[in-house]
């Protein structure tokens, strides 16, 4: 094998104009961003404050930025697919040949699920959860940085396939035997597998980190029944990550063994069985959709309560429903392949189990409705997204229950009806939730609010575009149109396909509005400063600190006396437990007490208050995440192209970096008392914002 493995000049898409243009655009964009950063001299700041930052807020922001960038790429794929199908009717070939079209829908699904929905939700949880539970940071701040950079490494590897080589042509879940070497000898599937293996490790580590943070770092007095509902959904989602992602990693590892070392887990030959892969991938895949949607439910719960000016209705029901969904999501995977020939008993069982999930979900919808009832509702952008969600999501829920009826699924399985259904719940649920959260917490992250008008325009375009793009697909599915087709014979389908294309263009306008909203907001930020730290009259602890919060989040340990911890304090309601109240603790200048990183929030710490320690500490920046990611990309690229020395160097580099970090003595940075005092002065006393 040569020094460059399978890599040669033919890996560049020189003969395919569309692929070449796409690749060139990506390279040029990346180069111009790098040039801009260099020219402006931003590298030191970028390196110190962002790339090596272990602050959960900055890492959360970076996750969201990554998700937004990938949303653009994933949407370009979507627009190309819709254009192809609007054209390729009744013998017309369209403009994308199958070998290119097949890569596009595979990349679209992979990007939108793993690198947009997932990344966006992880970013929101990263930013919000520690603030909501009164913690100084995540349980493992450096690990948090490693998680983010591994995700970014996966993104980079996947996008490399646009320029060097090709992506999988197999659909976003690479079903064997199609994805086996016998049928997909090219590097596309390898890019898919290595990119997701690397990003998957990051996701798993992030899941462990967030779960630990929620379980161990809650402020004094914040029992589980006082946790903001977003933290409940984050807990459920991260428990699912811990339980489900190892399945994904193991499944991909088996497929990799098939492809690289001639194993026969899923091949047609020698006792391999593709049905095993299909079961395993959905044993991960179904929990995955709840990993995405549960945090979105949490966002809507926070937003609806805040903008109705009311506590969330039926808090306990909401928490129970969340955990019920968390458990049930592991018992329904077979509904993704009723058509694989299981017995009527098996299909019937999984059909009924699937429908049962609709019960806790229905409970949530009713509780949001009752939260609105009797409120004083402000129609700000986050609330608009939430209302759009409530209306849209129940439609997706209904078609989901239809698909859960095996005999109906026998008809519409894999059809455009299915495509419409999962876009209905993922756009109408996850993406709307992401945008609600983005508009809601943006002022907390950056200290100024987003422009309302452009936000409304973006919401309007997305909603209208969504209905135009996907309602026709429901109909087309019932008419017999299947997914992943590159052309079709039926001229009668074309008008509906054109309507769907118009919908995609309207969504494009929505995305443009989002970008304009961001630009306009930044340019007018001086007029839209949030000086109170509490622009929405919020209910939870993140609104009790300045916007943006200091690196250490809370100047002194937080004590919580009830649900909606900040709201009760602001409104001077007598807390149920009379203790060192939050108001006095929070308003005081650096107070005695053990306030070290993370420990300050440790409930029931016997040392608290007894041993005077002078100051608050924050962990120093660490380059370990970005260095590991660098080696991970080298490793992945080496494996994809069978470049042995590069893969080996990448692998050894990762091990060496981890070992080096493990033996590194790192002093926490002590926050100067003056900085603390300044921070306490800058923040208005609780209650002042009400």
Partner 1 sequence: MTVVPSLAVLQSGVLDPQGPVAASQRLILFNASVIMAAVIVPVIVLTLAVAWWFRAGNRRARRRPDWAYSGPLEVLVWSVPLLVILFLGGIAWIGSHELDPRRPLASEVAPLDIEVVSLDWKWLFILPRAGVASVNHLVVPVGRPLRFHLTSTTVMNSFLVPQLGSQIYTMAGMTTELNLRADRAGVYPGLSAQFSGDGFSDMRFEVEAVSEEAFAGWLAATAAEGRPLDAEALRLLERPGTTGRERYRVALPDLFGSLVRRHGHGAMPGMAASASAPSHPSHSPHAASP
Nearest distance, CB of residue 428 and partner 1, angstroms: 12
Could you tell me if 545 and 131 are in contact, meaning their C-beta atoms sit under 8 angstroms apart?
yes
Nearest distance, CB of residue 546 and partner 1, angstroms: 27
Q: How far apart (Å, rounded) are the C-alpha atoms in residues 128 and 543?
A: 10
Nearest distance, CB of residue 676 and partner 1, angstroms: 35
Q: Which is nearer to partner 1, 76 or 394 (CB)?
A: 394
Q: Which is nearer to partner 1, 44 or 271 (CB)?
A: 271
Q: How far apart (Å, rounded) are the C-alpha atoms in residues 365 and 360?
A: 9
Q: Which is nearer to partner 1, 167 or 245 (CB)?
A: 167
Nearest distance, CB of residue 332 and partner 1, angstroms: 12
At 446 the three-state DSSP class reads helix
Nearest distance, CB of residue 652 and partner 1, angstroms: 37
Could you tell me if 194 and 639 are in contact, meaning their C-beta atoms sit under 8 angstroms apart?
yes
At 415 the three-state DSSP class reads strand
Could you tell me if 151 and 67 are in contact, meaning their C-beta atoms sit under 8 angstroms apart?
no
Question: What distance separates the 2 farthest-apart alpha carbons in the chain?
Answer: 81
Nearest distance, CB of residue 679 and partner 1, angstroms: 32
Q: Which is nearer to partner 1, 249 or 411 (CB)?
A: 411
Q: How far apart (Å, rounded) are the C-alpha atoms in residues 517 and 506?
A: 16
Nearest distance, CB of residue 94 and partner 1, angstroms: 10
- Looking up tokens 């009723």 gives 338
Q: Which is nearer to partner 1, 411 or 584 (CB)?
A: 411
Q: Which is nearer to partner 1, 38 or 339 (CB)?
A: 339
Nearest distance, CB of residue 336 and partner 1, angstroms: 12
Nearest distance, CB of residue 116 and partner 1, angstroms: 22
Q: How far apart (Å, rounded) are the C-alpha atoms in residues 459 and 384?
A: 7
Buried b / exposed e along 163-183 (16+ C-beta atoms within 10 A): bbbbbbbbbbbbbbbebbbee
User: Distances from the Cα of 164 to the Cαs of 11, 22, 29, 102, 159, in angstroms?
Assistant: 5, 12, 16, 17, 9
Nearest distance, CB of residue 35 and partner 1, angstroms: 39
Q: How far apart (Å, rounded) are the C-alpha atoms in residues 435 and 592?
A: 40
Nearest distance, CB of residue 355 and partner 1, angstroms: 5
Q: Which is nearer to partner 1, 106 or 145 (CB)?
A: 106
Could you tell me if 92 and 175 are in contact, meaning their C-beta atoms sit under 8 angstroms apart?
no
Q: How far apart (Å, rounded) are the C-alpha atoms in residues 524 and 522?
A: 5
Q: Where does residue 143 fall: left (phi above 0), alpha (psi -120 to 50 degrees), or beta otherwise?
A: alpha
Q: Which is nearer to partner 1, 110 or 585 (CB)?
A: 110
Q: Which is nearer to partner 1, 317 or 615 (CB)?
A: 317
Nearest distance, CB of residue 508 and partner 1, angstroms: 22
Q: How many CB atoms lie within 10 A of CB 444?
A: 25
Beta-ladder partners of 618: 669
Q: Which is nearer to partner 1, 355 or 623 (CB)?
A: 355
Could you tell me if 676 and 593 are in contact, meaning their C-beta atoms sit under 8 angstroms apart?
no
Q: Where does residue 612 fall: left (phi above 0), alpha (psi -120 to 50 degrees), or beta otherwise?
A: beta
User: Distances from the Cα of 541 to the Cαs of 226, 319, 564, 592, in angstroms?
Assistant: 12, 19, 8, 21
Q: Which is nearer to partner 1, 524 or 571 (CB)?
A: 571
Beta-ladder partners of 448: 529
Q: Which is nearer to partner 1, 212 or 268 (CB)?
A: 268
């Amino acid at each position: 094998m040569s020094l460059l493995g399978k890599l040669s000049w033919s890996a560049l898409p020189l003969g395919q104009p569309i692929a070449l243009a796409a690749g060139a655009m990506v390279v040029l964009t990346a180069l111009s961003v790098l040039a801009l950063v260099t020219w402006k001299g931003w590298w030191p700041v970028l390196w110190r404050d962002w790339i090596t930052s272990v602050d959960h807020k900055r890492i959360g922001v970076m996750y969201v930025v990554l998700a937004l960038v990938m949303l653009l790429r994933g949407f370009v794929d979507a627009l190309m697919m819709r254009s192809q199908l609007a054209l390729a009717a009744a013998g017309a070939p369209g403009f994308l040949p199958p070998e290119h079209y097949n890569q596009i829908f595979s990349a679209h699904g992979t990007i939108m699920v793993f690198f947009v929905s997932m990344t966006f939700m992880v970013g929101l949880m990263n930013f919000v959860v520690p603030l909501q539970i009164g913690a100084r940071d995540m349980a493992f701040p450096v690990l948090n940085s490693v998680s983010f950079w591994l995700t970014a490494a996966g993104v980079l590897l996947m996008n490399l396939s646009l320029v060097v080589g090709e992506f999988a042509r197999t659909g976003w879940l690479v079903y064997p035997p199609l994805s086996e070497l016998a049928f997909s000898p090219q590097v596309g599937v390898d890019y898919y597998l290595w990119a997701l293996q690397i990003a998957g490790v990051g996701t798993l580590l992030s899941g462990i980190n967030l779960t630990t943070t929620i379980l161990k770092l809650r402020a004094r007095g914040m029992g589980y029944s006082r946790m903001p509902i977003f933290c409940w959904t984050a807990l459920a989602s991260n428990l699912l990550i811990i339980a489900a992602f190892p399945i994904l990693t193991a499944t991909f590892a088996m497929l990799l063994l098939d492809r690289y070392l001639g194993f026969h887990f899923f091949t047609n030959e020698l006792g391999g069985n593709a049905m095993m892969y299909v079961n395993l991938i959905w044993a991960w895949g179904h929990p995955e959709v709840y990993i995405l949607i549960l945090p979105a439910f949490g966002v809507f719960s926070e937003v609806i309560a805040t903008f109705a000016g009311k506590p969330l209705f039926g808090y306990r029901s909401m928490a129970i429903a969340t955990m019920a969904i968390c458990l049930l999501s592991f018992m329904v995977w077979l509904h993704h392949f009723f058509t694989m020939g299981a017995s009527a008993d098996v299909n019937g069982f999984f059909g009924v189990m699937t429908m049962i999930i609709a019960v806790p979900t229905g409970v949530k919808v009713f509780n949001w409705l009752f939260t609105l009832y009797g409120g004083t509702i402000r129609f700000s952008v986050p609330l608009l997204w939430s209302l759009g969600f409530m209306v849209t999501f129940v439609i997706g829920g209904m078609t989901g229950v239809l698909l859960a009826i095996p005999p109906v699924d026998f008809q519409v399985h894999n059809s455009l009806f299915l495509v419409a259904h999962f876009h209905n719940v993922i756009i109408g649920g996850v993406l709307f939730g992401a945008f609600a959260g983005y508009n809601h917490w943006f002022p907390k992250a950056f200290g100024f609010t987003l422009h309302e008008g452009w936000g409304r325009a973006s919401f309007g375009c997305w909603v209208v575009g969504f209905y135009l793009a996907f309602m026709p697909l429901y109909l087309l599915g019932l008419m017999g149109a299947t997914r992943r087709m590159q052309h079709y014979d039926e001229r009668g389908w074309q008008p509906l396909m054109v309507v769907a294309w118009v919908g995609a263009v309207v969504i494009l306008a929505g995305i443009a509005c989002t970008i304009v909203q961001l630009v306009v907001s930044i340019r007018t930020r001086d007029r839209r400063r949030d000086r109170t730290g509490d622009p929405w009259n919020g209910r939870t602890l993140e609104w009790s600190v300045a916007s943006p919060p200091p690196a250490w989040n809370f100047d002194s340990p937080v004590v919580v006396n009830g649900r909606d911890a900040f709201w009760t304090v602001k409104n001077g309601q007598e807390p149920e437990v009379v203790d060192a109240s939050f108001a006095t603790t929070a308003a005081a200048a650096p107070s005695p007490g053990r306030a070290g990183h993370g420990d300050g929030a440790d409930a029931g710490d016997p040392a608290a208050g007894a041993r005077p320690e002078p100051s608050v500490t924050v962990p120093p920046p660490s380059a370990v995440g970005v260095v590991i990611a660098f080696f991970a990309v080298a490793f992945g690229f080496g494996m994809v192209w069978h470049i042995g020395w590069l893969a080996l160097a990448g692998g050894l580099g990762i091990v060496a970096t981890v070992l080096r970090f493990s033996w590194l003595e790192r002093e926490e940075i002590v926050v100067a008392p003056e900085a603390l005092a300044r921070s306490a002065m800058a923040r208005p006393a609780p209650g002042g914002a009400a």
